Structure 1
Amino acid sequence: MAKTKSRHRARSTVAILDHRILVRRGLTGIVADSGTHEVLFEAGSAAELFAILQERSDRGQPLPEVIILDILMPEVDSLEVLTQLGERFPECAPFVITDSAEPTHMRLAFEHGARAYALRDLSATAIVTALEALKIHRHFVGPVMVSHLIRAFVTGGQQDPLSMLTEREQDVLRLAALQFGNREIAERLSISEHTVKTHLRHATEKLGVKTRHEAVSLAIQSGMALKPRLVPRLDESSHDSDGPSTPTTNSGIR
């Protein structure tokens, strides 16, 4: 009996942030079925998450010990969300569950405050194991990501820096190298200007440079700006195929 009571006292409280309601409900079911953890609330956006956390804090209500979220959320800088959680609600341990198997994404997530990182195909049992690890202030990395991490470690130093960028980050950087502004890049890729800025910031971080100009210079040196993989046009008939190939002089991402 004593052991059962101890187990009950070890119950973790969880909040789930995801813009997809089916994902939230699925994770809520897994946590509830564990019998040792409970979901305090769900949030469909970062703004909603912070509003609920602030309200609970103002009312003296307990905050969730773990916040499950994705690092690839639309229209939001997920790394900034992790940073803000660490600064405003350090008692909440961020647990990233995502579709991204990029080792660089995992590294950036941990650098910005994540305590656990796993792919979305993580089993229910493994999710519970991760929650238990977080409960005793340990980090957790999903088994598939461990393999990616080892592979990246072994081949580190031999990898082309630009290969660390996601396809979308490469698309944005390629257009920036062709001297398109943020607004035109956004229109050509059918994304928001905010998302363009986010992709450029992530690209500069991954490339180990500090400015947009430096990132663009690397892209040009690698020949990325000359590659035709994706230089989308709003109107193929009204745009000449040739464009400037010198780096922009803008030193900021915004």
Structure 2
Amino acid sequence: MPDPSPSPIRVVIVDDQAMVRQGFGALLDAQEDVSVVGSASDGSEVVELVRRTRPDVVLMDIRMPRMNGLDATRAIHAMPGLAHPRVLVLTTFDADEYVFSALRAGASGFLLKDATAEDLVSAVRVVASGEALLAPSITSRLIADYAARPAPRDTSAVLSLLTERELDVMRLVATGQSNAEIAEGLFLSEQTVKTHVSRILAKLGLRDRTQIVVAAYESGLVSAGG
């Protein structure tokens, strides 16, 4: 007897523009593996909506009245007794001042609102699978911003939790390489790289690859252009 089809990815859309909510909703509902289970026009509505609908992914606008996407992301991840959904932040600005704070608040990725329909659907699937996602222009912004910052604080005590091989993997994750690319570069199996990434996340108390990138730059393990 064939295995039953997997449950669709449950998505909540949060945006203060009705046309955006309706457009994204129609696009995602047209996918066989995605189901839009709710929408909200303001970040202040999303906590109760998430509690009620239990989505896998929240598409979060970053600039909204009353409660912005940053505060809403924090509120979602502060909810006790609930499997927290993955938050994919949608923004019009690739140089948004909220990018770094939202990553620290628990966002799993960023996508610009001018992305193609195919990119949006793919992004939902990527973050739902447990991976992290950053638009290329956002990654460039991350690197440029850290290059302009003062010298990082001493985090040697934190990095000392990692083995030399884990540090190697962390550096390569921070440059945007996939597990397959890291495996090829370090002459390891892809499964071994996945194990190293899992151990880095556990040892440093990080949520996903996006936070590994931030931690690598903040700690000085990786520097722009180096």
TM-score (norm 2): 0.58
Give 1:64's aligned residue. Answer: 55
Q: 1:46 & 1:155 partners in 2: Cα distance? A: 31
Give 2:100's aligned residue. Answer: 107
Match for 2:17 among 15, 20, 40?
Answer: 20
Q: 1:13 & 1:77 partners in 2: Cα distance? A: 22
Unaligned 5+ segments in structure 1 are 57-61, 159-254
One-letter amino acid of the structure 1 residue matched with residue 12 of structure 2: A
Deviation at 1:38, TM superposition (A): 1.2
Give 1:127's aligned residue. Answer: 120
Equivalent residues of 2:87, 2:107 under 8 A apart: yes
Give 1:85's aligned residue. Answer: 76
Q: 2:117 & 2:131 partners in 1: Cα distance? A: 19
Three-state SS of the structure 2 residue aligned to 1:118 is strand
Give 1:200's aligned residue. Answer: none
1:98 and 2:73 correspond: no
Give 2:184's aligned residue. Answer: none
Unaligned 5+ segments in structure 2 are 152-226
Give 2:138's aligned residue. Answer: 145
Cα RMSD for the two superposed structures: 2.5
Q: Percentage identity across aligned positions?
A: 21
Three-state SS of the structure 1 residue aligned to 2:78 is helix
Equivalenced residue count is 149
Q: Residues 125, 137 of structure 1: CA spacing in aligned structure 2 closer, same or farther, 3 A cutoff?
A: same
Give 1:210's aligned residue. Answer: none
Q: 1:17 & 1:75 partners in 2: Cα distance? A: 13
Deviation at 1:50, TM superposition (A): 2.3
One-letter amino acid of the structure 2 residue matched with residue 66 of structure 1: V
Q: 1:50 & 1:74 partners in 2: Cα distance? A: 15
Three-state SS of the structure 1 residue aligned to 2:138 is helix
Equivalent residues of 2:111, 2:134 under 8 A apart: yes
Q: Residues 63, 72 of structure 1: CA spacing in aligned structure 2 closer, same or farther, 3 A cutoff?
A: same
Q: Residues 100, 71 of structure 1: CA spacing in aligned structure 2 closer, same or farther, 3 A cutoff?
A: same
Give 2:66's aligned residue. Answer: 75
Q: Deviations over 1:210-245 (max 9, x none)?
A: xxxxxxxxxxxxxxxxxxxxxxxxxxxxxxxxxxxx
Moved over 4 A (4+): 153-158
Q: 1:130 & 1:103 partners in 2: Cα distance? A: 19
Q: 1:109 & 1:43 partners in 2: Cα distance? A: 19
Give 1:38's aligned residue. Answer: 35
One-letter amino acid of the structure 2 residue matched with residue 11 of structure 1: P
Deviation at 1:96, TM superposition (A): 0.3
Q: Deviations over 1:164-196 (max 9, x none)?
A: xxxxxxxxxxxxxxxxxxxxxxxxxxxxxxxxx
One-letter amino acid of the structure 1 residue matched with residue 59 of structure 2: I
Equivalent residues of 1:10, 1:135 under 8 A apart: no
Q: Deviations over 1:133-184 (max 9, x none)?
A: 11221111113222333433455559xxxxxxxxxxxxxxxxxxxxxxxxxx
Q: Say which one has the larger Rg.
A: 1
